[in-house]
Each structure stands twice: as C-alpha cells, then as structure tokens.
C-alpha cells in the first residue's frame, strides 16, 4: 500500500533529467545578468575616475593667474601676479582702470616669464595715481594678458577698493576674486582690436 502511494506521487526520473538543462539555463541567465550589471557599474566607476583625473589634469595644467594689488606705503603700491597652475606663462600686459572708465588708465607692456606656482611682482609707481588721481574713493580693477602653450590669454578683472586723499593712499583692499577663468584670445591683432574698441568707447563716452 505504501509502495503504491509512493509510485503514484513520485516524479518520474526522466522528467527530472529533462528539467536539468532548463534549470541550468535559468541559472546561467541570472548569473549573466548579475555579471552584466557588475560590469556596467565597474565601467561607470571607471568613467567617473577618468573624468575626475581629466578634470584634475586640466585644472593643474590649464593657465590660471591671480592678480593682487598691495599697498607698500602711502605713496607706493605694487601688483602681485601668482601663477596658480603648473604650466609656465609669459606675461605680456598689465591693465589697470577705474570701473567707471571706458579705457584702462594703465597698459604696461611686458615680456616677463612666470613659472607655475611662482609669483611675479612689480611696483606700480605713478601708474596708480594716473588711474586714481590725487583724490579718489571707489573701486579699481586689474587684469593681466599672457601667453601659455603658444596661445594668448587674458584674466578677468580683479576688483579692489581704494581710497586716495591728497596723493596719499589711505586704503587698498581686495573686493572679490575674478568671476571667470582666463579667456583665450586670438593673437596680437586681437589686442590691437581691443585698443581700438577702447578708443571708440572713450570717444562715445566723452561725446555723451
């Protein structure tokens, strides 16, 4: 009786054998899906790592200068240019102007090399007073044009609050850093074009 019940409810061995390849296929499919997802995650992680490495490389080797004006005494100031990148640059021009002026009061043409991570300084002398006059209380801005990797770049305008009274510099403080990174220029012809545009703006301002 017991043997007869087992024979009625036992799965035939042949059916079990036939289901083994199906189970193996299902297991292989699940394993393939797991491995595919792991591969995609690894590829995504690798892409993110490469993007971070590329960004770090560009940040370190892309030209980036910081411009600062410092007060040495009541009648002396200097410009401090720091190369924040690793790449060396060749400083071509320093510009200084009041924010309300259409034309920079100072255009100092130079040919000074500046190695990455180093600082270049130069006394402004009378150029500062050519920009501010003997009495002035407001903001001025400084910018630097330079060569790097055979291309011409220009920094944004770094702003400073200055107070001058009777030819004495009472206060000179930075207002903020540049809002934008350095901009690539075409060549020296573009500098000449900027000079022409400044002259046109000055004439327009004087006419108005």
What's the chain's average pLDDT? 79
CA atoms 108, 65, 117, 113: torsion sign: negative
Q: What global pTM score does this model have? A: 0.63
- % residues pLDDT > 70 (the chain): 74
Q: Helical H runs in 62-88?
A: none
Quick one: tokens of 153? 């770049």
Q: What is the pLDDT of residue 205?
A: 45
Which neighbouring-strand residues pair with 64?
Answer: none
Residue 103 structure tokens: 């034309």
Dihedral of CA 165/166/170/174: which sign?
positive
* Mean pLDDT for the stretch of residues 130-153: 89
Contacts of 190 (CB under 8 A, 6+ apart): 152
The percent of residues above 90 in pLDDT, for the chain, comes to: 31
Query: 206 pLDDT band (50/70/90 cuts)?
Result: very low
Residue-wise pLDDT tens digits, 47-62: 887 777 777 766 667 8
Per-residue pLDDT for 11 more than 70? no
More confident residue, 32 or 89: 89
């Amino acid at each position: 009786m017991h043997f007869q019940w087992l024979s009625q409810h036992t799965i035939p061995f042949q059916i079990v054998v036939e289901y083994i390849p199906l189970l193996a296929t299902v297991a292989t499919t699940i394993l393939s899906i797991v491995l595919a997802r792991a591969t995609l995650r690894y590829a995504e992680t690798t892409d993110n790592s490469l993007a971070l490495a590329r960004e770090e490389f560009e940040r370190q080797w892309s030209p980036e200068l910081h411009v600062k004006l410092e007060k040495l005494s009541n009648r002396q100031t200097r410009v401090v240019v720091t190369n924040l990148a690793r790449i060396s640059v060749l400083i071509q021009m320093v510009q200084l102007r009041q924010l309300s002026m259409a034309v920079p009061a100072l255009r100092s043409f130079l040919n000074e090399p500046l190695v990455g991570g180093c600082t270049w300084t130069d006394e402004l002398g009378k150029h500062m007073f050519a920009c501010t006059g003997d009495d002035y209380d407001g903001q001025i801005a400084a910018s630097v044009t330079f060569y790097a990797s055979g291309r011409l770049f220009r920094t944004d305008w770094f702003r400073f609050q200055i107070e001058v009274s009777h030819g004495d510099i009472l206060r000179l403080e930075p207002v903020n850093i540049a809002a934008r990174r350095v901009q690539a220029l075409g060549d020296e012809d573009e500098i000449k074009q900027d000079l022409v545009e400044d002259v046109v703006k000055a004439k327009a301002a004087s006419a108005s």
